[in-house]
Structure 1
Amino acid sequence: MGIARAWVFPILRILLVALVAAALIKLAFFPDRPADAAPAQPTGAIVEPRAIAALGTITNDVVVKATVTADAAVPMKSTAAGTVNKIFVAEGATVAQGDVVLNVKVPIERDPADSVDAEGKPKPAIYRYVDVTAPAAGTLSSLSVIAGQDVTIGATAGTVAPPTFSVTGSLEPAQQYRLLNRPTEASVTITGGPAAFTCGNLRITTPLAGSTGGDSAATGGNTAGTGGAGSAASGTTATCTVPGDVTVFSGLAAEMTLAGGRAEGVLLVPTTAVRGAAQSGTVWVSSPDGTTAERAVALGLTDGTQVQITDGLAEGEEILEFAPGAMAPVDDGCTVYPDGSMYCDPAAAS
């Protein structure tokens, strides 16, 4: 035991220290691979992400925030010049379209040869009576004339408030591109109200240039309505008529869903891969040698995430997932388009 302590253990410790020192010297001065010729130069490569054109189903539903409004009162106008003879309906009464509200006494001019009697005395004046009727069904909300008052043709004698309601929401310019095929109805959900219902007679209207007040023109072949747009903001609006069996109240918040189309088994690519947002655009197609080439394509439906390619691209072709200048998504559900404009999806922001 004394020999081991005096000779064996010290020798083992010396050998162990020598092995460790030799290993450190090799790691420091004799690496397993040759040193990089230019260690300061990066050796990685940036690979642009790709996407594959594939068949799928796309549903183009445009959702807008909307408000329930009572349809505007319809003016009741005199159709003759004369004197109000008699009023048959009191203000606040319920009327049907065509009900006689008042009549106007209109003097009839006699023929000069028939203006005097056999004794040479002037004959009494003669009159005709013209009825003024309710222009719509509803409540006679105002009556602005009294018996004996003179009126002129076209003078407003009162207004009739219809018992109907409409739902109105504003459309962003980018949303209008998604509604080139105009729907005739919308699905509406009232906040805190009944289940979703179909809202018909859909009108998409835009104010005419230089117009004041509620002048508007329908786009896409639809006609402009006369009511329901009382609280609509300036710009393009979508308005539909609430069915009579659905109970709503003016001022309620609503969500309007406009069906812009649905297609199955069509060629789809990400919207980020396309430069252009509607009808036409370009994509960058990858070649086997790794290069990319710009190619024009025709665009169909889009849901904001994917877009339909109707011409110019084949199934299975590889393209850049992020095309130069393509619309790019940003935070909070907003999208920046190539012209610099931005659209923020209300559904994503809520």
Structure 2
Amino acid sequence: MTQPTDQVTEHGGGVWSLRVPIPDNPLGHTLVHVLDTDRGPVLIDTGWDDPASWNELTSGLAVLGLDVREVHGVVVTHHHPDHHGLSGRVREESGAWIAMHAADIAVVRRTGSAEPGRWLDYLARKLAAVGAPEEHTAPLLAARAAGRMRTLPGLSSALPDREIVPGELLDLAGRRLRAVWTPGHTPGHVCLHLEEAHPAGLPGHGRLFSGDHLLPEISPHIGLYEDPDETTTAADPLGDYLDSLERIGRLGVAEVLPAHQYAFPDAARRVRELLDHHEERLAGLLALLAVPLTPWQLAERMEWNRPWELIPHGSRNIAVSEAEAHLRRLVKQGRAEPLAGTDPVAYQAV
């Protein structure tokens, strides 16, 4: 039996997790799960595309007596670089297939085919439209002019060659792994339900590889789905996320194996906590919207893990996207509305 280490954890029943570091990120690492199948090991996510991360991934596999060339397939919960980053290199070394939900495959394809600088142009326009000050957009425009777009993560991600179909069992010999579509964190995020008895006999229906959808102590970032071609406001990522949470809560799994932090039982309790958290946050935003605010002004006033003036430039972009997603939900619910004639657009509680 594999001996537990700081790097490798055995979860029983042919499932292990490997800690793969994320450079310069407070999350610290991605938990890459290894699932034994009759055709060879399958990875659930792969970690960030970085030499140190690659070394940790391959050395973790070696602890299990595996070589990366033995990997049969890669199932990606979502397209973010701390999950999908090393998938291409794994495929190059092993010939493994890569599977992802169609909505996130579309993101990978769109991002990879974009002309250099297109995303910075889009982000600068988007931020200006929600009320970001010129001193915030200036560095983006400077990066665009200097041609630094090619250095951003995710632009050269591997294009998956298999599509994960929600509700279907994945083609994994000897295992029952069912895809559950859980949009919100990304449009194509999936959780993976291992429909097998828990190896330690915990009560419940199997185990859940939850990616970033369900984490034991933190709520995943829910922002607007980034698409330069979007011309409507139809997407409702927070609404998608809340609906997906309820779907996961009904599965009754015995244990959750997330991509960050640690494994935990009682998914239904954690689902209730997150639903309550977001409802409380929406209520708090409604109180702020007693006066008209742009999305940027709302983000400045929201509660974060540090004061707004200490939040780095890139994290402010993420924060304002989260504010927009919450505004979108309030508008969809009829609890807030944009004020006609405001530019940049301001919102107010109804």
Question: With structure 2 as the length reference, what TM-score do the two structures score?
Answer: 0.20
Larger radius of gyration: 1
- The structure with higher relative contact order (CA 8 Å, sep 6+) is 1
Larger helix proportion of the pair = 2
With normalisation by structure 1, the TM-score equals 0.20
Larger strand percent = 1
